[in-house]
Structure 1
């Protein structure tokens, strides 16, 4: 690392130049340097011509590709922790998962709670706050509340006795959740009575609404989108299958009766979504794909049998199964593997694969001024990846927090 003159007249924070690299900038991978100061990406022209500044430190990237940090908007837990089941361990679990997912390139995430009781929500929601990422772990962008206002028929693994009909209208949102201050996304079934009013109330509060766990036909789904919904929770899963006379929620990808871009979450692990289905979705609506892991507490655990809460699971073949059976329990996908699988299954470009885990989720949440790109002025959360999209380093606010060779995490580069 070379020492060069500091630009102390403008800022006392050091200027870091990442050189010998390619960067994903303005939807293209270009040969250029990346400049960072005080956790933000700098405009080099402004730095050179207006500030007359130069680098304090140079980092040789050894021809790596620098891409924005990945964003996971649906993750239920990991590394032995489940966010929904043990309120007394939630804070510990958030910290453990936030640190663990750094090695998979995730720099921001939405901890996800599945259908739970009002008492459980009251205990857990106040413990999870929006936080900036650091050397201790990925940042929290807000909660994703997946339920309980969902279809009983399409509840999936959600406990049936806790599914709520929304019969009390928007008041049910507050009676069940109690606190919406740090909520980023709510998944609900749009066919429920009072669902439209609930969508409008949540959107008014700046919360992204997702349709999912639903038996809705296309017309009902379109009405929900026109009321403010903008996301589909794990496309193809827990919804009516595509039919040529009524394509259901899946039909939103090609609808001409909606007033906004609809994004759709996809678990690209080769298990939850067949590669052919993934290709159909991507080729129909490439600008809407948002990769999610939907990972369970078994994420990050070695193959074998594990006791997780009250359930025994077998981890094998990159999936988690109910112990002693072939019944799929849930995802243990990593975001880095999902990015690579998307590219392999769809033959999309590197830029398109990366944007499905960066730009698109940031657009969904309305945070592109800070996250999801390497634009000037955005947070310096980024990754070094190789030609095969293997994550080599993870940076948050311009500081290295994980390295593939050493696993080293601290505040220095």
Structure 2
């Protein structure tokens, strides 16, 4: 039987009240109703006291846990598509991945392009624009460019021949990338000569700068942060290991010499980060932890041969390896799996686990006023979860519209309606 839930433009002006649910709001789980109108979460008090009306539709949520939609700021592809190499099928790749990740609770993401020739950036960057999500897929927040301005010594799964330095500062960046207006985040190695000037220039354009793929020490990391860098790309991976006399970029989590705290990405797939390291990071700086998938083309497919940028990747079990090596090359994990790993391995609460995929990435990207919470006035991007056992995504909503329902999820049926139109999705 179809679910009777908001379905988009024809519901403009209608007010929806979700009852019999629990909300993640204000850092805790609260028993409350969720009110939605015109793609936003609204405060019900003015509806009652000023407008003096009832909701047009009241929907019973069967005691589901409702949280903000998940945000993934580092994803290289999935379902057989690689954003850095599938240039001829780029729009198809974006469409398939944006649609596919709805089932994992992701409502917004940053398509990530790994180190590539300048010609690749010039073809890709103008074609991937920021888009609002809906039934066709999750919202695109802008591109994450991971390279080519990184350390050759900490290249990971990035091709050495395309790694660059800042020969002419920001001018080199513009020459390599071409257009920057669709870019939301750039990962660079902060120890590169000229990095601080480049960071300042990128941040002045509203681009989030992340330190990563770096052989730099703590001093270079602190200099980068004090010039505007605010993120660390996949902490512990592709950087100097923590050392008690020079903690490297990991030391930024506790540094007293930076102007503002940093956020940092963690790949909680059970492969990239040992549970003990995950616990250390969380207990050191819990409010900065951002779960990322770093997923590549094999995500959603399983074992076999796949592509990541300029490389072939072999997936064995749960590991994605550069072909013929033991070098990890992205992951095949989904965001809901990351949250489950994080909760289990770090011993954190459900709220802490979910905030690492919602509130924290929204803060890192400067969009907390729009996404990452269920606060009044924010976008109505939210996820219904079953928390009786391991967390499971039941329904995903974008802009107040149901865009995904699990096959075994309870139908969302209205218990009260004040208008005659049919409000259903297939």
Q: TM-score, normalised by structure 1?
A: 0.94
Q: CA deviation at 1:314?
A: 4.2
Name the SS of the counterpart of 1:88 in structure 2: coil
Residue 324 to residue 214, structure 1, CA distance change in 2 (3 Å) = closer
Q: CA deviation at 1:316?
A: 3.9
Q: Which structure 2 residues correspond to residues 5-404 of structure 1 after superposition, within 5 A?
A: 13-301=13-301, 303-308=302-307, 313-322=313-322, 328-387=328-387, 388-404=390-406
Moved more, 86-95 or 68-77: 86-95
Q: Aligned partners of 2:12, 2:314: CA distance in 1, in Å?
A: 53
Q: Aligned partners of 1:12, 1:94: CA distance in 2, in Å?
A: 28
Native 8 Å contact 1:2 1:57 kept in 2: no
Native 8 Å contact 1:74 1:109 kept in 2: yes
Q: Aligned partners of 2:322, 2:194: CA distance in 1, in Å?
A: 36
Q: CA deviation at 1:12?
A: 5.6
Q: Relative contact order (C-alpha < 8 Å, sep 6+): which is higher?
A: 2
Q: Aligned partners of 1:311, 1:225: CA distance in 2, in Å?
A: 31
Native 8 Å contact 1:19 1:58 kept in 2: yes
Native 8 Å contact 1:21 1:64 kept in 2: yes
Gaps of 5+ in 1: 4-10
Native 8 Å contact 1:40 1:379 kept in 2: yes
Q: CA deviation at 1:346?
A: 1.4
1:235-291 CA-partner distances (Å, limit 9, x unpaired): 000000000000000000011111112000000001000000000000000000000
Residue 383 to residue 12, structure 1, CA distance change in 2 (3 Å) = closer
Q: CA deviation at 1:324?
A: 7.2
Q: Aligned partners of 1:80, 1:384: CA distance in 2, in Å?
A: 27
Residue 156 to residue 315, structure 1, CA distance change in 2 (3 Å) = closer
1:316-344 CA-partner distances (Å, limit 9, x unpaired): 43232456776543300100000111111
Native 8 Å contact 1:399 1:412 kept in 2: no
1:137-192 CA-partner distances (Å, limit 9, x unpaired): 00000000001110011111101010001121111111111111011000000100
Residue 363 to residue 304, structure 1, CA distance change in 2 (3 Å) = closer
Native 8 Å contact 2:150 2:188 kept in 1: yes
Q: Aligned partners of 2:158, 2:326: CA distance in 1, in Å?
A: 19
Gaps of 5+ in 2: 5-10, 412-422
Q: Aligned partners of 2:174, 2:90: CA distance in 1, in Å?
A: 21
Q: CA deviation at 1:313?
A: 4.5
Q: Aligned partners of 2:246, 2:223: CA distance in 1, in Å?
A: 15
Name the SS of the counterpart of 1:64 in structure 2: strand
Residue 332 to residue 249, structure 1, CA distance change in 2 (3 Å) = same
Native 8 Å contact 2:297 2:306 kept in 1: no
1:101-130 CA-partner distances (Å, limit 9, x unpaired): 000000000000001111110000011000
Name the SS of the counterpart of 1:95 in structure 2: helix
Name the SS of the counterpart of 1:62 in structure 2: strand
Q: Aligned partners of 2:160, 2:214: CA distance in 1, in Å?
A: 14
Residue 173 to residue 31, structure 1, CA distance change in 2 (3 Å) = same
Native 8 Å contact 2:12 2:37 kept in 1: no
Q: Aligned partners of 2:3, 2:200: CA distance in 1, in Å?
A: 54
Q: Aligned partners of 1:53, 1:75: CA distance in 2, in Å?
A: 43
Q: Aligned partners of 1:172, 1:307: CA distance in 2, in Å?
A: 31
Native 8 Å contact 1:319 1:333 kept in 2: no
Native 8 Å contact 1:70 1:372 kept in 2: yes
Q: Aligned partners of 1:298, 1:12: CA distance in 2, in Å?
A: 39
Residue 307 to residue 171, structure 1, CA distance change in 2 (3 Å) = closer
Moved more, 242-251 or 337-346: 337-346
Q: Aligned partners of 2:214, 2:325: CA distance in 1, in Å?
A: 27
Q: CA deviation at 1:312?
A: 5.5
Native 8 Å contact 1:2 1:58 kept in 2: no
Q: Aligned partners of 1:261, 1:242: CA distance in 2, in Å?
A: 19
Q: Aligned partners of 1:84, 1:143: CA distance in 2, in Å?
A: 11
Aligned length: 403
Q: CA deviation at 1:53?
A: 2.4
C-alpha RMSD over aligned residues: 2.0
